[in-house]
Amino acid sequence: MRKITFDIETSNTFEQAGSADPAALNLSVICVHDSETDKYSTYLQEELSELWPLIEKADMLIGYNSDHFDIPLLNKYYPGDLTHIKSLDILKEIKNSLGRRIKLDSVAEGTLGKKKIGHGLEAITWWKNGEIDKVKKYCKEDVKITKEIYEYAIKNGMLKYKDLSTNREIKLDTSNWEEKKDGTSMTHTLPF
């Protein structure tokens, strides 16, 4: 199964966009990890045409808050419909199990023993200051964390999160996470 783990950074906030709709935001950077090649790559908005063939070969997209945020935002730029590709949103799985949302930073600290290297608002500031490489590095680190917590969940059937000074467990049913979606994963919107 070819899995694409991904994360998006934006160049503006919801407040600046005047809307709570992720599609109202503008993409600055997207980083992906391709399980087939075990490589990370980053794309700026003007390079998205290079990303689409990779996305279209995916059996599954993996993200953190991706069903609510990343996929609707990326769909704004995609010539087809990314919702036709199987998606696993780790935050959604956590909320279904725990009954509430947990920040990626808390899950990273509890599960992996490390914290994120920044946060989304900092990435917007870096972008506005022309620190593109810093945004790319931050986005790539978030993808690495997301990939590692996905792998931990598959192996252990749970994740951990930091709650004040205590680590707590989140039981997850991962039994169908890697089942292929019926039909094709490709949307066939690009000429081949």
pLDDT in single tens digits along all 192 residues of the chain: 999 999 999 999 999 999 999 999 999 999 999 999 999 999 999 999 999 999 999 999 999 999 999 999 999 999 999 999 999 999 999 999 999 999 999 999 999 999 988 888 899 999 999 999 999 999 999 999 999 999 999 999 999 998 888 889 999 999 999 988 765 445 445 444
What pLDDT does residue 183 have?
Answer: 54
State which amino acid sits at residue 101.
Answer: R
What pLDDT does residue 191 have?
Answer: 46
Q: What are the structural domain ranges in the chain?
A: 3-98+120-156
Distance in angstroms (rounded) separating the CA atoms of residues 100 and 192 = 43
CATH 3.30.420.10 corresponds to the domain 3-98+120-156 = yes
What pLDDT does residue 184 have?
Answer: 47
Burial 28-42 (b: 16+ CB within 10 A, else e): bbbbbbbbeeeebbb
Per-residue pLDDT tens for 138-173? 999 999 999 999 999 999 999 999 888 888 999 999
Indicate the pTM of the whole model: 0.91
Q: Identify the three-state secondary structure at position 142.
A: helix
Burial 106-120 (b: 16+ CB within 10 A, else e): bbbbbbeeeebebeb
Pair of tokens at residue 35: 């399980």
Distance in angstroms (rounded) separating the CA atoms of residues 8 and 157 = 26
